[in-house]
């Protein structure tokens, strides 16, 4: 039973355009949502997060949007760069247990 | 300086063997974790230790036994390896591992790819 889902296994975007990565969750008790980026043969690295009490958090080219009523969050990358090509994992934290649940990742390919 | 380091990075072994994966973090974090990335690419929590104390123990076979000699180290020992244990195992650490902590950002190691033949 996967509580965090990333339904798009891959996404291809032209350099300079916007990349939108989506994530859905089922548990309304999640209090923090995070995005991680992973290059091949490396561990995931933290990218950006958002608290459940907010609906938007921006950090440079990266913006995360949270729609609690739809249990949906998205990561926007503008403008996309070839160096952004990686696998992006969505994660959610369960407050009472400090457990992190991860999606299966979306592989982003930014074409030059 | 590697913040979270795991050894070995690759491990190929026969069914029935016992193997260990070691993890060390030099970030001064209080909490360490083991995650398993399965064939469907999901990262699933296995164990979590806070200051050497087990705080999360997910439903994993008891052939898996974590050991934390100090808060900078969390090792994973696997007995009687099975084909289904083949996966990438990630160690991670965070500053606040207890419920209600801050963002709880995880710092991951590079992963240890275990292949059971």
Taking 70 as the threshold, does the pLDDT of residue B103 lie above it? no
Cα separation, B9 vs B15, in Å, equals 19
The single residue listed with the structure tokens 């690419």 is B41
Taking 50 as the threshold, does the pLDDT of residue B34 lie above it? yes
Structure tokens at B58: 């997910």
- Cα–Cα distances (Å) from B46 to A63, A107, B33, in that order, read 30, 24, 7
Residue among B4, B42, B99 minimizing CB distance to A97: B99
Considering only CA atoms, which of A93, A105, A112, A92 is closest in space to residue A21?
A105
Strand order, beta sheet including B19-25: B4-7, B19-25, B73-78, B64-70
CB contact under 8 A, B45 and A104: no
Q: Which residues from chain A sit within 8 angstroms of residue B55, using beta carbons?
A: 98
Taking 90 as the threshold, does the pLDDT of residue A95 lie above it? no
pLDDT 10s digits, A1-20: 689 999 999 999 999 999 99
């Amino acid at each position: 039973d996967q509580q965090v889902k990333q339904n798009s296994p891959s996404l291809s975007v032209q350099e300079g355009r916007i990349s939108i990565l989506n994530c859905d969750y089922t548990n309304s008790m999640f209090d923090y949502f995070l995005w991680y980026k992973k290059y091949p043969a490396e561990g995931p690295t933290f990218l950006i997060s958002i608290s459940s009490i907010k609906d938007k958090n921006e950090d440079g080219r990266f913006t995360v949007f949270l729609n609690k009523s739809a249990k949906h969050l998205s990561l926007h990358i503008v403008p996309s760069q070839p160096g952004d090509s990686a696998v992006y994992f969505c994660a959610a934290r369960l407050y009472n247990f400090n457990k992190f649940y991860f999606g299966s990742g979306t592989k982003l390919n930014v074409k030059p | 300086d590697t913040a979270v380091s795991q050894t070995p990075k690759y491990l190929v072994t026969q069914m029935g063997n016992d193997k260990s994966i070691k993890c060390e973090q030099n970030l001064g974090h209080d909490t360490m974790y083991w995650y398993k990335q399965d064939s469907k690419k999901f990262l699933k929590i296995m164990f979590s230790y806070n200051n050497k104390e087990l705080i999360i123990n997910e439903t994993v076979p008891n052939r898996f036994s974590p050991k934390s000699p100090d808060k900078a180290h969390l090792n994973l020992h696997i007995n009687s390896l099975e084909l289904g244990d083949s996966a990438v195992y990630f160690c991670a650490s965070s500053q606040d591992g207890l419920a209600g902590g801050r963002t709880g950002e995880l710092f991951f190691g590079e992963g240890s790819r275990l292949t059971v033949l």
